[in-house]
Amino acid sequence: MDFLGFVIICVKVLVVFSATMLTVLMMVYAERRVSAFMQGRLGPNRVGPQGLLQPIADGIKFLMKEDIIPAEVNKPIYLLAPAMLLIPALMTFAVIPFGSTITLFGREVPLQVADLNVGILYILALTSIGVYGLVLAGWASNSKYSLIGGLRSSAQLISYELAMGLSVVSVILLAGSLKLNVIVEDQQGYLLSWNVFKQPVAFLIFLVAVYAETNRLPFDLTEAEQELVGGYHTEYSSMKFAMFFTAEYANMVTAAALTVTLFFGGWDVPLLNETSMGALGAILSVLSFILKTAFFLFLFIWVRWTFPRFRYDQLMKLGWKVMLPLALINIFVTGGYLTLTSLR
């Protein structure tokens, strides 16, 4: 690899990383403001204009707080657990294409950090690795609430990972590739070519599974405040708690971006051919990607204040007895349809 290519990749990594972190900050702010709006409150509005600097104030507070390590914890694992959750959460965005190609210094630069030929599997693998952070945090804390939170999270994530993976399979069947780039290109063209119209069942299963995977309401049993204090992060304070918090929101950002990529055409602007429009097309594609992702991030908050929390047995029943069979039937129907049309 030549020097220029190396620089371009470094810049892309930097841009994606800082964009993710910035979105996390904005999401923390938006979560509080939108929640307040939905409950007829004002929310944080004192720090900066409209309270926009509140996340930064929160971050400084996290840094300044005393870092407490409880006496009876298993120290190495207790210290390792937040990083084990945060690192996979920040790594996942690497394969998501966030725009069409641009031409820089006479070469085509795809707006995507790494175009792996197993892109979607990479994301699924990393989300399944994230469980370790939760489980080990729960176990190492040596506290009942943390342990229950950790156990619940592992059971929940494994159950919904299956439904999520199987719903993605039908999308892969349509695109014929595991590359996220190809999946996006497959959805180009007119509006109805988006996968959400071709695979509505898969989209619904995926959306519900995403909420379970990111531990958001109505599936936030791992940190159900009324029962478990704070769940797996009960014993964590200061920056280590902030790491859990960041990981959770980074997971949400990736999940929203992945939903857009798989089902809403990724960076596709309907009825436009971005790749033939040069720089303007690239900017439009990035904008459309950001807008769609922002909508799904908003949906996270919206759902949070719309649905009550599931009971644990209801969660398991939904995962194993509804979502999994539904996803399997969906694959069967999709595969059958594809076979029949290819025979003709």
Partner 1 sequence: MLPLLFYFAAAIAVGTAISVVLSRNAVYSAILLVACFFSLALIYLLLEAYFLAVLEIFIYAGAIMVLFLFVIMLLNLGQEKAQEHFRYLQRGLSLFLVIVFFLGVSLILLSDSSVLHQSHETFSAGGVKVLGEALFTKYLLPFEVASLLLLVALIGTVYLAKQKI
Secondary structure letter of residue 113 according to DSSP: S
Contacts of 172 (CB under 8 A, 6+ apart): 120, 178, 183
Our CB check for partner 1 shows the closer of 135 and 202 to be 135
CA-CA-CA-CA torsion for 32, 206, 226, 222, nearest 10 degrees? -110
User: Shortest gap between Cβ of 87 and partner 1 (angstroms)?
Assistant: 12
Residue keyed to tokens 């719309």: 306
Secondary structure letter of residue 221 according to DSSP: G
User: Shortest gap between Cβ of 34 and partner 1 (angstroms)?
Assistant: 33
Quick one: tokens of 12?
Answer: 């892309």
Our CB check for partner 1 shows the closer of 76 and 106 to be 76
- Give the Cα separation of 332 and 330 in Å (integer): 5
Per DSSP (E only), the strands in the chain are 101-104, 107-110
Our CB check for partner 1 shows the closer of 135 and 323 to be 135
Our CB check for partner 1 shows the closer of 122 and 289 to be 122
User: Shortest gap between Cβ of 125 and partner 1 (angstroms)?
Assistant: 4
Tell me if 236 sits within 8 A of 137, measured CB to CB: yes
Our CB check for partner 1 shows the closer of 2 and 66 to be 2
SS3 of 269, please?
Answer: coil
Binding site for partner 1 (CB under 8 A): 74, 77, 116-118, 121-122, 124-126, 128-129, 131-132, 135-136, 138-139, 147, 150-151, 154-155, 157-158, 161, 178
Cis peptide before 110 (omega within 30 of 0): no
User: Shortest gap between Cβ of 232 and partner 1 (angstroms)?
Assistant: 12
Secondary structure letter of residue 309 according to DSSP: P
User: Shortest gap between Cβ of 272 and partner 1 (angstroms)?
Assistant: 31
User: Shortest gap between Cβ of 144 and partner 1 (angstroms)?
Assistant: 12
**Short-list 81, 64, 70, 77, CA closest to 235:** 70
**Short-list 287, 285, 291, 296, CA closest to 188:** 285
- Give the Cα separation of 315 and 219 in Å (integer): 7
Our CB check for partner 1 shows the closer of 126 and 180 to be 126
Our CB check for partner 1 shows the closer of 58 and 161 to be 161
User: Shortest gap between Cβ of 142 and partner 1 (angstroms)?
Assistant: 10
